[in-house]
Amino acid sequence: MTIAKIMQRLTAFGMLAGISLLASGCESMVVLDPKGPIGAQQRDLIYFTMLLCLIVLVPVLLLTAWIVWRFRDKKDNKAPYQPKWAHSTKLELVWWGIPIIIILVLAVTTARYTHALDPAKPIQSSAKPVTIQVTSLDWKWLFQYPDQGIATVNYLVIPEDTPIRFELTSDGPMNSFWIPQLGGMIYTMSGMSTTLYLQADEQGEYMGSGANFTGRDFAKMGFTAKAVAQGDFEKWVKEAKTSGKQLTEEGYLKLALPGTSEQMTYASIPDGLFKRIVHEYSMSRGALAGIGQKAKTLSEQHAKEDGETGSAPAELPPKTAPSSGGHSGHNMKEMNH
């Protein structure tokens, strides 16, 4: 088989892959299929920047193909050959000028959108915003509804057409809170609280995830955000309140230990827990390291895990004692100053 033939086949294969890719790409990618005003504006901005870039991209690709074909070294190539031609102020002005203009347009657009879409900026709406306090834990999400006095783990229920004011923090490694169909993400960081406004215009279940790597069970930090009608939301809150499970201070400290979790609902939350997470608990598990504490080898870590929890990876079933999950399971109370 000649090389040309094999190359042809490879190219054909590549095209096939490309087609299948486009086909699967068209099945509505979530970022380009927003269900809320923030996500919609971000999608428009993405389309706009893409178009602006294509204005440069397409001509450059065509020009490249044409130049490479036109000036190839062939005996009967009649294209001009000017080996000493190396400067043209006019041409250079053109290709310094065009990108400058495009970047100028983009810069102005970016500045406007950055202010308009500032995550902490409230969404204009006649509905009163619902506040949800989000805490990323190792490796689960805790959502508190301070006004409703309830909390959930790994799922959210929100009323449609209502701005949601997310207050975010972390009691563990920093993470990133992302519900692509409602809008862009924001970091959750220990010791500080960030704000993110999102809104769902349609009922439905939306995928949410942690986007910033946080260690072993990072991949299991997905959650769902369920947007429901206002009445259904109130009904759900009532049901949650009668579910019987309570989130206590001790319960929280256990929940915060490393381990994964199922979806859970809490009928009540302690007053001001979120504030304490931000100011007192956040990573107070941190930094016991000192000259006296040595890092462990991997084999040693494995041996420790096997000894404590058996060989199966530690899961955290609802309302049971937390697993140590491999990472240092210090007792939170000791360090709680």
Partner 1 sequence: MLDKIKEFASWFFVTGDPLIYGADIAIALTTAAIIFVLTYFKKWKWLWREWLTTVDHKRVGIMYIIASLLMLFRGGVDALLMRTQLAFPDMQFLSPEHYNQVFTTHGVIMILFMAMPLMFGLFNIAVPLQIGARDVAFPFLNSLSFWLFFMGAMLFNMSFVIGGSADAGWLSYPPLSEMTGSPGVGQDFYIWGIQISGIGSLMTGINFIVTIVKMRAPGMTWSKIPMFTWSVLSSCITIIIAFPVLTVTLALLFLDRYLGAHFFTMDGGGNAMMYVNLIWMWGHPEVYIVVLPAFGIYSEIVSTFSKKRLFGYGSMVFAMMSISLMSYFTWLHHFFTMGSGANVNTFFAITTMIIAIPTGVKIFNWLFTMYRGRLTFSTPMLWSIAFIPCFVVGGMTGVMLSVAPADFQFHNSYFLIAHFHQVLIGGVAFGYFAGLYYWWPKMFGFKLNETLGKWAFWIWNIGFYVCFMPQYFVGLDGMTRRVSTYSWDTGWWGLNFTSTIGGFLMGIGFLFQVWQIAHSIKFMEKDTTGDPWNGRTLEWSIPSPAPLYNFATTPQVTERDDWWEEKERIAAGKAPKPQPVLEPIHMPKNSAIPFIQSVCWFAVGFGLVFHWLWIAIPGLLGVGITMLAHSFNYDTDYYIPVDEIIRTEEAARRSV
Site for partner 1 in 201-220 (CB under 8 A): 207, 209-219
**Residues 176-195: x/- map of binding to partner 1 (CB under 8 A)?**
x-x-x--xxxxx-xxx--xx
Interacting positions 43-62 with partner 1 (CB under 8 A): 43, 45-46, 49-50, 53-54, 56-57, 60-61
CB-nearer residue toward partner 1: 111 or 127: 111
Among 1, 86, 312, 321, binds partner 1 (CB under 8 A): 86
Give min distance, CB of 170 to partner 1, in A.
Answer: 9
Q: Which segment (85-93, 123-131, 152-160, 235-243) binds partner 1 by CB under 8 A?
A: 85-93
Calculate the dihedral angle through the C-alpha atoms of 9, 14, 16, 22, rounding to the nearest 10 degrees: -170
CA dist., res. 219 & res. 321, Å (int): 22
CA dist., res. 135 & res. 142, Å (int): 5
Of 277, 298, 288, the residue nearest 328 (C-alpha): 288
> The tokens 């799922």 sit on which residue?
155
Give min distance, CB of 261 to partner 1, in A.
Answer: 16
CA 290, chain centre distance (Å): 34
CB-nearer residue toward partner 1: 86 or 321: 86
**Single-letter code of the amino acid located at 330:** H
CB-nearer residue toward partner 1: 148 or 176: 176
CB-nearer residue toward partner 1: 66 or 235: 66
Q: Exposed (0-12), middle (13-18) or buried (19+): which is 27, by Cβ within 10 Å?
A: exposed
CA dist., res. 189 & res. 176, Å (int): 8
Among 40, 113, 129, 275, binds partner 1 (CB under 8 A): 113
**Residues 10-39: x/- map of binding to partner 1 (CB under 8 A)?**
xx-xx--xx-xx--xx-x-xxxx------x
Among 5, 78, 87, 333, binds partner 1 (CB under 8 A): 87
**Which 8-state DSSP code applies to residue 246?**
B
Rule CB under 8 A: is residue 76 a binding residue for partner 1? no
CB-nearer residue toward partner 1: 42 or 148: 42
Interacting positions 246-275 with partner 1 (CB under 8 A): none
CA dist., res. 315 & res. 197, Å (int): 32
Among 1, 5, 73, 76, binds partner 1 (CB under 8 A): 73
Q: Which segment (89-97, 129-137, 239-247, 314-322) binds partner 1 by CB under 8 A?
A: 89-97
**Under 8 Å between Cβ of 245 and 213:** no
Of 253, 254, 245, the residue nearest 273 (C-alpha): 253
Q: Exposed (0-12), middle (13-18) or buried (19+): which is 156, by Cβ within 10 Å?
A: buried
Integer-rounded Cα radius of gyration of the chain? 27
Rule CB under 8 A: is residue 302 a binding residue for partner 1? yes
Rule CB under 8 A: is residue 84 a binding residue for partner 1? yes
Among 127, 229, 235, 289, binds partner 1 (CB under 8 A): 289
Among 36, 37, 146, 173, binds partner 1 (CB under 8 A): 173
Buried b (16+ CB within 10 A) or exposed e, 76-101: eeeeeeeeeeeeeeeeeeeeeeeeee
